[in-house]
Amino acid sequence: MCDLSDKVAIVTGGATLIGQKVVEALHGAGAKVTVGDVNAADGQALADRLGDGVTFLETDVTDDAQLSRLVDTTVERYGGVDILVNMAAVYLDEGLETSREDWLKALDVNVVAGAIATALVAPHMEARGGGAVVNFSSISAKVAQPLFFVYSTTKGAIAELTRVEAIRLAPKGIRVNSVSPGWTWSNPIRDMSGGDRAFVDRIGGALHMLGRIGDPEEVANAVVFLCSDQASFITGTDLAVDGGYSALGPEQMGQPLEELLARMEAGS
């Protein structure tokens, strides 16, 4: 069990399906959590449901004043900051036809906001003897995917940002890592599938060694681990929570190879 008693966490994008499970897991491990998200209805409902030790603040992460308010309110209410989880993201992607406006918006939300948030919490973490930052990258940062263009680029940038933040913040006792979820039951997948989890498991299962997509709780467990003392010697790295997706390569569960071997046997 990862014990986060007496720890204080900030989670941006915490009103999403995965974000809510991250907040629940951090809170369940003993941390006090402030959630920042533009989705006020779901964010406040989450805080109301979890009760004591969870605060919601409606936050546009592209607004530095609102990010500062998120950090300052957390420090005032809970005494400091030990953990930051940068989850806020947008999915603006028209491939090569993506407008400059959407490119800049995606970079601002997905990459720059997390960098600014990390800079804001770093002094507070250092004052408490160190801390942990978890950025959300993705399997989309590692392989070319036909449906993602802008999103994949931002997630690749997050992977590099994680490494450079880790080396710059190590002297302050701050560890910085990222997680890369595979296909996970999340807001975009839920919306694209019309809420049909069985359909997504059938389609996405062929791309993952474990034969299904991930649950948001499984991503949340990885985040809690990276935030805990159990990961005290881990920094500057990425933890794939992808059911084997990124290890498969283009042969997809060996099916093309099996077909080739069957033809070879038939011809022998």
Architecture of domain 8-267: 3-Layer(aba) Sandwich (3.40)
| 266, pLDDT greater than 80 | no
Q: Judge contact between 17 and 190, C-beta under 8 A.
A: yes
pLDDT at 219: 97
pLDDT tens figures, 143-186: 887 778 999 999 999 999 999 999 999 999 999 999 999 989 88
**Predicted local confidence at residue 254, as pLDDT:** 55
Query: Closest Cα to residue 182, out of 103, 228, 238?
Result: 238
For 176-234, write each residue's pLDDT tens digit: 999 999 989 888 888 888 888 888 888 888 889 998 999 999 999 999 999 999 999 99
pLDDT value of position 18? 96
| Calpha distance 34→52 (Å, rounded) | 11
3-state secondary structure string, the chain?
CCCCCCCEEEEECCCCHHHHHHHHHHHHCCCEEEEEECCHHHHHHHHHHHCCCEEEEECCCCCHHHHHHHHHHHHHHHCCCCEEEECCCCCCCCHHHCCHHHHHHHHHHHHHHHHHHHHHHHHHHHHCCCEEEEEECCHHHCCCCCCCCHHHHHHHHHHHHHHHHHHHHHHHCEEEEEEEECCECCHHHHHHHCCCHHHHHHHHHCCCCCCCCECHHHHHHHHHHHHCHHHCCCCCCEEEECCCHHHHHHHCCCHHHHHHHHHHHHHC
- Per-domain residue ranges for the chain? 8-267
pLDDT at residue 253 in the model: 54
Which of 78, 91, 151, 245 is catalytic? The answer is: 151
- In this predicted structure, what is the pLDDT of residue 260? 47
Q: What is the mean pLDDT of the chain?
A: 92
Structure token pair of residue 58? 């409606």
Instruction: Residue 20: name the closest of 211, 215, 209, 225 by CA.
Output: 215
Q: What pTM value is reported for the model?
A: 0.91
Mark whether 151 is an active-site residue.
yes
**What is the rounded distance in angstroms from the CA atom of residue 71 to the CA atom of residue 154?**
24
Give the lowest-confidence range in 3-7, 69-73, 247-251.
247-251
Place of tokens 């791309």: 207
pLDDT confidence of residue 264: 56
Report the pLDDT value the prediction gives residue 189, as an integer from 0 to 100. 85
